Structure 1
Amino acid sequence: MSANSRLTIAAHALVWISLYQRQGRGVATSEQIGGSANTNPVVIRRLLGDLRRAGLVESRRGVGAGWSLTRELESITLLDVYEAIEPGPLFAMHRATPNQGCVVGYGIQPAMRGIYEGVEETLRRELARVTLEDVLRDVLAAPR
């Protein structure tokens, strides 16, 4: 199973847009952001579409097209970003109902559901305490 990088790429895009704008530039293009993330601009556009639906970015079409933030980084948490791009649960149950005649098949989902709820609660609590301003500060402080 591969790790999901959507949260990392979305945070990268938002922090990049903010830094770009703080440098006095206008809107950022998905090509520019994709170049920074070394990711196809189509992937960036899809993520930014999710972030737009959540009200974190806005887009401009036509001449001067691109993306800009709708809020300051200090008011956007990693939880805001996570909820915008990952609408479903972190973990899922079986696609088909396990054999209810088997002791493990009968009890596995209730047992795992409780564990998963605890993990998700911890994840949400940790993501809620970190703003994208915190992320930008750490990015700028990273040794080169």
Structure 2
Amino acid sequence: MSANSRLTIAAHALAWIGLYQRQGHEVATSEQIGSSANTNPVVIRRLLGELRAAGLVESRRGVGAGWSLSRELKSITLLDVYEAVDPDPLFAMHRATPDPGCVVGYGIQPAMRGIYDGIEETLRRELREVTLEDVLREVLAAPR
């Protein structure tokens, strides 16, 4: 799973669990979610583990094992999900320090950092405005 699809797969899993619970089910299995997302259940379990660490889902072991939401969809934003599964910055600097004796090498990181910080803040602001309830509403309204 690519880094840029993690948010989408996580939102898919959470919306699926939320809808499944509304239909009267207590927990969803990673196999069920994986089938819906066409993704290996092992990958789903790893992602749900990250969402559990962020307090977005709970897991039950043993008989009746599975996953359930820790909060209602209307109280989970895409920013919550993004921070749970993509904690690294959206853009990264050079792995090696550029040549400080070169005018571009000296100034590139501060220049790009300012640009990237602005982009990241815009992204976070937009994600903060959308709940998983909004996402599920859009999913259910999509033409089939």
Instruction: Give me the TM-score of the superposition, normalised by structure 2.
Output: 0.97
Deviations 1:78-110 (A, max 9, x none): 000001111121111011101111111111100
**What RMSD over aligned residues (CA atoms) do the two structures have, in Å?**
1.0
What runs of 5+ residues in structure 1 fail to find an aligned partner?
Answer: none
Q: Which residue of 2 aligns with 1:94?
A: 94
Q: Which moved more, 1:108-117 or 1:86-95?
A: 86-95
Q: Which moved more, 1:7-16 or 1:17-26?
A: 17-26
Shift of 1:119: 0.2
The reply on whether 1:5 has 2:21 as its aligned counterpart is no
The reply on whether 1:112 has 2:112 as its aligned counterpart is yes
Given the superposition, is the C-alpha separation of residues 9 and 88 from structure 1 closer, same or farther in structure 2, using an over 3 Å criterion?
same
Shift of 1:11: 0.2
The reply on whether 1:131 has 2:131 as its aligned counterpart is yes
> CA contact under 8 A between 2:3 and 2:86: conserved in structure 1?
no
Cα distance in 1 for residues equivalent to 2:68 and 2:81: 15
Specify the code of the residue in structure 2 equivalent to 1:87: P
Identity rate of aligned residues, in percent? 87
Deviations 1:97-127 (A, max 9, x none): 0111111111110000000000000000000
Specify the code of the residue in structure 2 equivalent to 1:114: G
Show the 5 A alignment for 1:11-26.
11-26=11-26
Cα distance in 1 for residues equivalent to 2:16 and 2:82: 17
Specify the code of the residue in structure 2 equivalent to 1:21: Q
User: What is the DSSP-based 3-state SS (H/G/I as helix, E as strand, rest coil) of the residue aligned with 2:4?
Assistant: coil
The reply on whether 1:67 has 2:70 as its aligned counterpart is no
Cα distance in 1 for residues equivalent to 2:3 and 2:47: 17
Shift of 1:26: 2.2
What runs of 5+ residues in structure 2 fail to find an aligned partner?
Answer: none
The total of aligned residue pairs comes to 143
Given the superposition, is the C-alpha separation of residues 3 and 61 from structure 1 closer, same or farther in structure 2, using an over 3 Å criterion?
closer
